[in-house]
Amino acid sequence: MMICKRCFVSGRVQGVFYRETTRQQAEKNQLTGYAKNLPDGRVEVVICGSEKSVDTLVEWLWTGSDYSSVSDVDCKEIELNEFAQSKTFVTM
């Protein structure tokens, strides 16, 4: 079953390669979606794929890059969207 989740990641997650390492992990797990910096210092991550792969990446979001320090990951399932049909995971 394919699902999508939108996650908001807080902590030291900007300027520490968080989005790029998230992209690498998403591609490794054959997920689509995006990661982008928000003006308030958080990173928004939308992940689409198999439920197991999405859950695997959500767990990984707590780890992040070597230089990040994650304090919170807040995820909610969302309706399948254009990223569910995409073939890539992008950083914005």
Structural domains of the chain ordered from first start: 2-86 (3.30.70.100)
Q: Could you read off the pLDDT of 18-51 as tens digits, one per residue?
A: 999 999 999 999 999 999 999 999 999 999 999 9
| Residue 79 pLDDT class (50, 70, 90 cuts) | confident
> What own/partner pairs with CB < 8 Å and gap ≥ 24 does 55-62 have?
56/29, 57/22, 57/25, 57/26, 57/29, 57/31, 58/5, 58/7, 60/22, 60/25, 61/7, 61/9, 61/22
Residues 92, 75: Cα–Cα separation, whole Å: 19
**Mean pLDDT score across all residues of the chain:** 92
The residues assigned a catalytic role are 19, 37
